[in-house]
Amino acid sequence: MNILVTGGTGYIGSHTCVALIAANHDVIIADNLSNSKIETVDRIERITGKRALFYKIDVTDAASVRSLFSSHSIDGVIHFAGLKAISESTRIPLEYYFNNVVSTIVVAGACLEYGVDRFVFSSSATVYGDNEVPFVETMELLSVTNPYGETKVMSEKILTDIAVTNSAWSVALLRYFNPIGAHESGLIGELPGGVPDNLMPYITQVAKGKLDKLRVFGGDYPTVDGTGVRDYIHVMDLAKGHIAALEKLPEGVHVFNLGTGQGTSVLELVQAFEKANNLKIPYEIVERRPGDIAKSYADTKKAGIELGWKAERSILDMCRDAWRFEKSY
């Protein structure tokens, strides 16, 4: 298939482009490079031996998106493009609502206009708010506490309503848990700008000596060791989940959790990183981070049964691959 990947030079998008090309699909990337680098296109080519077409466009701009759809025959879209930092979304909510919701409307609108009926959307486990774990796709979406999460809930709703009135549409709403790690080549990975918000890039920068120690946000949660529990998933496993969704999706709208189903605490991840890479990560336990929840992990049965997809890589693989990328970049 000819697949348009919005946000395709970003962290998850670039790994998914590699997986798409490996699965014999042709890839067209649309990215405004607001949080990624053009050299990622070369790196995807170095890994796969095949060059993706690249367009530097902002996908909130309807004219650019329509021009792209009018000049290519597109079979499906994976819509990654968006802003993703929860804390930043509380400081600049309007930018988040505009970028994330308008991009979904514009890209979905072009799909309808040009008869593209396969749409895969990057949603997030954050839509579950503080529900009971494990999070199941059928749960009511309560208590989303930040603008970023709201943009995902709104985009899911918009795509669901479109699918109701367009019976040929197949939509996958993929709720990612915590993607970490990097492609095994060490050529592509996560490139946070400034001081990382997320745990794994913070750990790798401490390992590299760019940051002096990890601050563990909260040691008094009701978890195995008092630190927050998350469902970390290797980004290449996540990438493959997109291929499964694209290739196996029936008509209608379908929600899937993409996680491993295993919870890992902050301190367990630190220990795994130390073991995988034979390094020490200095840390201190500080106050809880506002808005954080104690536990988040997926019920993954639905993706297993309906997509035949399952995450395969271990926490040690994730730690090894994340460090390989950080070291070599």
Which residue's entry shows tokens 């309560």? Answer: 142
Find out whether 169 and 117 touch, Cβ atoms under 8 Å: yes
Closest distance to ligand NAD from the beta carbon of 232 (Å): 10
Given the complex with ligand NAD, which of 184 and 251 has the nearer CB atom?
184
Given the complex with ligand NAD, which of 21 and 174 has the nearer CB atom?
174
Question: What mask of x and - would describe binding to ligand UDP in positions 289 to 318, judged by CB under 6 A?
Answer: x--x---x----------------------
Does 152 contact ligand UDP by CB under 6 A?
A: no
Q: What is the dihedral of CA 202, 319, 300, 1, to 10 degrees?
A: 90
Which residue's entry shows tokens 């994976």? Answer: 78
- Whether 148 is catalytic: yes
Tell me phi and psi for residue 328, to 5 degrees: -90, -15
Burial class (CB in 10 A: 0-12, 13-18, 19+), 325: buried
- In sequence order, what are the residues at sequence separation of 6 or more whose Cβ sits closer than 8 angstroms to the Cβ of residue 219? 225, 226, 227, 285
Using CB under 6 A, list all residues that contact ligand NAD. Answer: 6-7, 9-13, 31-36, 58-60, 80-82, 84, 99, 103, 122, 124, 176, 178-179
Closest distance to ligand UDP from the beta carbon of 224 (Å): 12
Q: Please tell me which residue in 55, 148, 202, 297 is annotated as part of the active site.
A: 148
Q: Positive or negative, the Cα torsion across 103, 114, 117, 18?
A: negative
Q: Which of ligand UDP, ligand NAD, none binds 9 (CB below 5-8 Å, type-dependent)?
A: ligand NAD
Provide the 3-class DSSP secondary structure of residue 27.
Answer: strand
Closest distance to ligand UDP from the beta carbon of 192 (Å): 10
Give the residue, chosen from 45, 217, 279, 299, that forms a contact with ligand UDP under the rule CB under 6 A. Answer: 217
Known catalytic residues? Answer: 148
The binding site for ligand UDP (CB under 6 A) comprises 178, 197-199, 202, 215-217, 228, 230, 266, 289, 292, 296
